Amino acid sequence: MQAPRGTYDVLGDQALARTALEHQARNVLEGAGYQRIETPTFEATELFARGVGAATDIVQKEMYSFDDGGGRSMTLRPEGTAPVCRAYVEHGMHKRPQPVKLWYLSTFFRHEAPQAGRYRQFWQIGAEAIGSDDPAVDAESILLLADLLEAVGVRGVRLRIGSLGTPATRAEYREELQAYLRAHEEELSDEVRGRIDLNPLRAFDSGHAGTRAVMEAAPRLLDRLAGDDAEHFAEVRGMLDEAGVPFEVDTTLVRGLDYYSRTVFEFTSDALGAQSGVGGGGRYDGLIEQIGGAPTPGMGWAAGVERMLLAAPPTPVAAMPLDLYVAYADPTRRAAAFQLAADARKWGHSAQVELAGRSLKGQLKAAGRAGARYVAICGDEGIALKDMESGEQQVVESSSVMHHIGHGI
């Protein structure tokens, strides 16, 4: 049996690297007042259909949906923002001081064609700030992802930002763009032509040469922003400048989810191949209303764990050091050895005990392999405690083993 296509096991150094990443994320995000949240792995399909958008690739092609046995359609979460917003509404978080700042480190599922950096089950670190439309929220959110990528050591990072304005502006712009695309229909790829009605903005994303040429001269949403949206965007840019975060304004930045309004952004890494997006996000002021809550602004991002680790030089991460390995001279001492290791752990030391019935020689080898600082050998004459650094060995009382591990032989 093998792991399903597009999934993988996390082992050894990879597991250690993930632990380090989790600590870095926690430092950056909890340092800015974000609190951890974890939501269920599956949710009602309708949450994503309404939240992420029925016309998106994610909802149309990539969701793992199933009947829960009771006639309800459930979906393995393809992303975390709609679930966090669902939780915000469900737990009445509007009563807390706003914005409510939440972060997560979770698995997500998308039925995509697997390739380097693209999986069917992947991990994201995400951060959502819900309840304020202040441009400082946008700027700080982006800054925190920049800080995280720097802490992790992601190479060749670039930031692109854009603004989508409000739904009303976008609706007007959409019509203008649709008219423009229809006027150039015969130069477009079949796929783009087929989606003029459903999702004309995706035309900016196309790799098709004819479409790209048409899109060069297409009207840009950024030029159509209403006064307060343009001002909001200017303030976000101003604060990023102030914070020394380099960015490029991208008038054609498209994201794969429908809930965005105003600020959108994406970090890419030159160290990655085709799947160069390490993290991205934006403002989603209409999402909570869309899923049945009161109108509430929100802003956030998610960054791919696999892609961050792929784009960061591997840093040696040490496994937890082993304070004590407990061996026994013969099987009659096994229970005493077991007890000594358990006691050591209670005292806050890391401890392992022989678990495979090796000979004493084999146990000492195992202790060496595990890098134990001390080895205790339970025998007829008591406990022989050996300092593996100095080579010194002494028979000690069982009651004083903990003292010796802490203070030396």
By C-beta, is 125 or 341 nearer to ligand HAM? 125
Q: Which residue is nearest to ligand HAM (CB)?
A: 304
Please report which residue ranges of 248-333 form alpha helices under DSSP H: 287-290, 305-311
Min dist. Cβ of residue 301 to ligand HAM (A): 5
Please tell me the distance from the alpha carbon of residue 343 to that of residue 52, in angstroms, as a whole number. 52
Please tell me the distance from the alpha carbon of residue 364 to that of residue 196, in angstroms, as a whole number. 71
Contact 401, 408 (CB under 8 A): no
Q: Is 256 in the site for ligand HAM (CB under 6 A)?
A: yes
Beta strands at 73-76 and 42-44: parallel, antiparallel or unpaired: antiparallel
Q: Is 124 in the site for ligand HAM (CB under 6 A)?
A: yes
Please tell me the distance from the alpha carbon of residue 202 to that of residue 378, in angstroms, as a whole number. 70
By C-beta, is 83 or 200 nearer to ligand HAM? 83
Please tell me the distance from the alpha carbon of residue 96 to that of residue 92, in angstroms, as a whole number. 8
Please tell me the distance from the alpha carbon of residue 376 to that of residue 372, in angstroms, as a whole number. 10
By C-beta, is 127 or 351 nearer to ligand HAM? 127
Q: Is 119 in the site for ligand HAM (CB under 6 A)?
A: yes
Min dist. Cβ of residue 100 to ligand HAM (A): 13
Q: Which stretch binds ligand HAM (CB under 6 A): 12-20, 110-118, 200-208, 331-339?
A: 110-118
Contact 346, 397 (CB under 8 A): no
Task: Give me 386's structure tokens.
Answer: 């050996």
By C-beta, is 277 or 293 nearer to ligand HAM? 277
Q: Could you write out the DSSP letters of every residue in 93-112?
A: GGGSSSSEEEEEEEEEE---
Q: Show contacts with ligand HAM in window 306-325 (CB under 6 A).
A: 306-307
Q: Is 302 in the site for ligand HAM (CB under 6 A)?
A: yes
Q: Is the dihedral of CA 309, 310, 315, 316 positive or negative?
A: positive
By C-beta, is 229 or 306 nearer to ligand HAM? 306
Task: Give me 145's structure tokens.
Answer: 């992802």
Contact 138, 150 (CB under 8 A): no
Q: Is 126 in the site for ligand HAM (CB under 6 A)?
A: yes
Count of residues interacting with ligand HAM (CB under 6 A): 28
Min dist. Cβ of residue 101 to ligand HAM (A): 12
Q: Which stretch binds ligand HAM (CB under 6 A): 63-71, 88-96, 113-121, 330-338?
A: 113-121
Q: Is 118 in the site for ligand HAM (CB under 6 A)?
A: yes
Could you tell me the CA-to-CA distances from 221 to 252, 256, 266, 285 in Å, in that order?
Answer: 8, 17, 17, 18
Q: Which stretch binds ligand HAM (CB under 6 A): 13-21, 112-120, 166-174, 317-325?
A: 112-120
Considering only 51, 80, 83, 293, the residue that binds ligand HAM (CB under 6 A) is 80
**Residues 47-58, buried b or exposed e (16+ Cβ, 10 A)?**
bbbbbbbeebbb
Considering only 45, 56, 75, 81, the residue that binds ligand HAM (CB under 6 A) is 81
Q: Which stretch binds ligand HAM (CB under 6 A): 114-122, 144-152, 228-236, 333-341?
A: 114-122
Q: Show contacts with ligand HAM in window 272-291 (CB under 6 A).
A: 277-282, 284
By C-beta, is 99 or 256 nearer to ligand HAM? 256
Residue 93 carries which side chain, given as an amino acid letter? Answer: M
Residue 181 carries which side chain, given as an amino acid letter? Answer: L
Please tell me the distance from the alpha carbon of residue 112 to that of residue 125, in angstroms, as a whole number. 20
Q: Is 258 in the site for ligand HAM (CB under 6 A)?
A: no
**Residues at the interface with ligand HAM (CB under 6 A):** 79-81, 110, 112, 117-119, 122, 124, 126, 128, 256-257, 277-282, 284, 300-304, 306-307
